[in-house]
Amino acid sequence: MFKNKITFSLSAVAATAPVLFYMYLYRRMPDFVPVHYDGAVADRFALKGSYEIIMISLLGWLGFGMIKLLQLLLRRLFLRSYIENLAVVHRVWNAATLLVTAGFSVLAIYTLLAMV
């Protein structure tokens, strides 16, 4: 799938960064962290080890999985045009995968920083 190993490696690093950041911040987090705000006031809290917080740290991998699934579905749907433009399509999808994964990872890191 990935013709460019560098793009795959960067996507994997971007997806893993929020998980490592969560592990780094875990000791510094309070026992209960805010997970929902109404305006500027936190109105819902969760334990720092709850599944909600772990899922936030996995947002990078979620973005990576979603874009790869979308790529697979669109490739099957438009197989003929995919084969005709293979080199361009691979470059575009590699770039899109990296951008979406990085975007979800930045969102996860920003959210984790707001909890500390």
Higher-confidence position of 31 and 90: 31
pLDDT at 103 over 60: yes
Residue 34: pLDDT above 90? no
pTM of the entire structure? Answer: 0.79
Provide the domain count of the chain: 1
User: Which domain covers residue 97, as residue numbers?
Assistant: 5-115
Q: 72-81: list long-range contacts, CB under 8 Å, 24+ apart.
A: none
Quick one: average pLDDT of 67-72? 88
Residue 38 structure tokens? 């109404």
- How far apart CA 113 and CA 116 sit, in angstroms, is 6
Highest mean pLDDT among 71-75, 90-94, 106-110: 106-110
Instruction: Label residue 3 by pLDDT band (50, 70, 90).
Output: low
In the predicted structure, residue 7 carries a pLDDT above the cut 80: yes
Check residues 109 and 83 and name the one with the higher pLDDT: 109
At 23 the pLDDT is 93
